[in-house]
Amino acid sequence: MIEPFDDTYFMKKALQEAEIAFEKGEIPVGAVIVIDNRIIARGHNLTETLTDVTAHAEMQAITAAANFLGGKYLKGCTLFVTLEPCQMCAGALYWSQIDKIVFGARDKDRGCINLKTKLHPKTKIEGGILEDEASALLKRFFIVKRNLN
């Protein structure tokens, strides 16, 4: 039997995706989707690269997971994302019927919790996993960006 990984392990994988986004000049948000203790999808922000405001990390991961599973519903899956999902991503997660969302840093201005965005009734949400690391990466990105302009 495979020993189960904990939430920290999977959030570290999402942070690796966020680092890839950072290196591309994208806002550093990363995501992975897990089912049965196995990563089935990865994503990071690509809004600048694709010139697409919908190309958030969560959207990339949702699409990859649906393709992997061969269907639009992500029942039995958990999303690990470095930043609390926005309303758009929360809406897509609602329709995907994902079981659980685990995020790192809170987004007090645009996050789904403060904006009271409705999630699927069966979806659980948990925040603050590796929050300091996720927040530090975002802060570093915006410091670098300010200094370049």
The phi and psi torsions of 2 (rounded to 5 degrees) equal -75, 130
What residues contact residue 82 under an 8 Å CB cut-off, 6+ apart?
A: 11, 14, 15, 17, 18, 28, 29, 30, 31, 57, 103, 104, 105, 130, 134, 137
Give me the catalytic one of 58, 126, 131, 133.
58
Please tell me whether 44 is known to bind a ligand. Answer: no
- Has residue 5 got a pLDDT over 90? no
Is residue 58 among the annotated active site residues? yes
State the pLDDT at residue 1: 46
Q: What is the DSSP letter of 73?
A: -
For the chain, give every domain's residue range.
30-35+52-148
pTM for this entry: 0.94
Residue 148 has pLDDT above 50, yes or no: yes
CATH code, 30-35+52-148: 3.40.140.10
112 is in an annotated binding site: no
DSSP string, 83-132: E--BHHHHHHHHHHT-SEEEEEE--TTTBTTTTT----TT-EEE--TTHH
Pairing of strands 100-105, 30-35: unpaired
Which of the four pLDDT bands, split at 50, 70 and 90, describes residue 42?
very high
